[in-house]
Amino acid sequence: MGRIVKVLIDHATVVVSGTKIASEIGTSRSEVWRLIQQLRALGVDIGGHPATGYSLKSMPDLLLPDLLAPLLQGTIFRNLHHFYKTGSTNNVAMDAANSGAPEGSVFLSEQQTAGRGRGNHQWHSARSVGIYCSVVLRPKLPPSDVLVIALAAGLAVQAAVQELDSGLAPDLKWPNDLLMNGKKFCGILTEMSAEPTQVRHVIVGIGINVNQTSFPADLQASATSLRMVSGTEYSRLQLCAALLKSFDREYRDLLGRPDAHDSILRRFSERSSSVCGAHVHVDENGGFEGVTEGLDSRGFLKVRTAAGIRTVLSGTIRPR
């Protein structure tokens, strides 16, 4: 279906006949008509009918591989897969990785019916308003380095959002969330398959609330979107491309440059309001309170408590 959208975009200012579209994508005119009907059902605004030809009325903001690939040239993200609806892109990516999908495979969906977050939370994944993206990585690293990859993904989201709109100021909340005005707009779910000393593959799943204008009642106090913060509607395609380009740089540096691991930890600490000097409650080991004291060399969070420094491995932190 992406190829037909690409043909319509390539001829955006004119009416294109069904015959021409059919020959460009190598199908029949009746199949073109069927695809046009499907695209309309998905909200793509296409004028015309079989007798007159078709024209795109407005540019659809779909995360189609044909539109994304040219923006990702030179990155590891070359193997792009797009769904209109799926359960969870992390599940799709994990299944694909288990079956040998190469490093840099990307799985995007316009909508998820079973989007997941950490701790079995759901990730609200309404159609074509957010980015629901999972990538397959195969780093030659020990399992203990995977947290740094997740922190690098957070830095990449932060950089991409600021590239899209320099007026936005996303805050990194250790280890996996990004917030604006104290509410979450992005969550990162990192899952891996590993041997004791070596990662087999890592799935980094990134959910970004981009153009939502509201959330269900149970999320209203905690969730926001870029659009709700600024009042601006954004191109998910531009944001997704900026995110994957930025993540590609972070990831390749991590594998290739000896100083990159420490650089990720340092930049994460500098760009997060919660890593140093924040009064927090930690939901780990029955829960405790303290003041954050930075990250250790593996990326774990140090918290000073009445009983001394405690290292948080995976718990959720909440401001006090």
User: How far apart are CB 76 and ligand BTN at their closest, in Å?
Assistant: 18
In the complex with ligand BTN, which residue's Cβ is closer, 116 or 261?
116
Q: Which of 123, 185, 234, 251 binds ligand BTN (CB under 6 A)?
A: 123
Closest CA to 281 of 244, 317, 228, 256: 317
Does 89 engage in binding with ligand BTN (CB under 6 A)?
yes
- Report the distance separating Cα 46 and Cα 151, nearest Å: 41
Q: Which of 132, 174, 185, 215 binds ligand BTN (CB under 6 A)?
A: 132
Beta strands in the chain (DSSP E): 46-49, 53-56, 79-83, 105-109, 130-137, 171-173, 177-180, 183-194, 199-209, 276-283, 288-295, 301-305, 308-312, 316-319
Does 224 engage in binding with ligand BTN (CB under 6 A)?
no
Give CA separation, 134 vs 24, 33, 100, 116, 226, in Å: 31, 32, 15, 12, 20
User: How far apart are CB 242 and ligand BTN at their closest, in Å?
Assistant: 17
- Report the distance separating Cα 121 and Cα 269, nearest Å: 26
Interface region with ligand BTN, contact rule CB under 6 A, candidates 21-29, 115-123, 246-254, 279-287 = 115-123
**Which residue number has the CB closest to ligand BTN?**
187
Interface region with ligand BTN, contact rule CB under 6 A, candidates 44-52, 65-73, 109-117, 296-304 = 109-117
Does 90 engage in binding with ligand BTN (CB under 6 A)?
yes
Closest CA to 190 of 266, 285, 94: 94
Does 207 engage in binding with ligand BTN (CB under 6 A)?
yes
Does 88 engage in binding with ligand BTN (CB under 6 A)?
yes
| DSSP 8-state code for residue 195 | -
Residues in the chain: 320
- For the residues of 262-304, what is the DSSP string, one character each? HHHHHHHHHT-SSSEEEEEEEESTT-EEEEEEEE-TTSPEEEE
Does 81 engage in binding with ligand BTN (CB under 6 A)?
no
User: How far apart are CB 114 and ligand BTN at their closest, in Å?
Assistant: 7
- Report the distance separating Cα 246 and Cα 45, nearest Å: 31
Interface region with ligand BTN, contact rule CB under 6 A, candidates 65-73, 85-93, 237-245, 288-296 = 85-93
Site string for ligand BTN, 165-204 (x = CB under 6 A): -----------x----------xxx---------------
Residues that bind ligand BTN (CB under 6 A): 88-90, 112, 115-118, 121, 123, 132-134, 176, 187-189, 205-207
